[in-house]
Amino acid sequence: MTLVNEPVDKNSNRKKYCRFKKSGIQYIDYKNPDYLLKLVNEQGRILPRRITGTSLKFQRKVAQAVKRCRHLALMPYVADGLK
């Protein structure tokens, strides 16, 4: 008999993966704000790797793309209720 309790939320047990590696995406387009919206939170901040599971290589690319997108006013720097 184990002393560790069963986790309440089974979903939290699922292994995270890098979506870019998994689907073979090589380039993240900064001109596509609809896609980049998945990688930011409601305030428009870039989601950390510990939440999205993105690998470091692609997290750098994500950050670069989001910043370029913001510069071109395709995405807000600060927002409230983006989603």
CA dist 49 → 18, 19, 23, 26, 78 (Å): 9, 11, 17, 18, 20
Among 21, 32, 41, 43, binds other proteins (CB under 8 A): 32
The distance of closest approach from Cβ of residue 8 to other proteins in the complex, given in angstroms and rounded to an integer, is 29
CA dist 7 → 1, 11, 13, 15, 18 (Å): 16, 9, 8, 14, 24
Among 25, 46, 47, 63, binds other proteins (CB under 8 A): 25
Among 28, 40, 52, 66, binds other proteins (CB under 8 A): 28
With respect to other proteins, which residue has the nearer C-beta, 28 or 59?
28
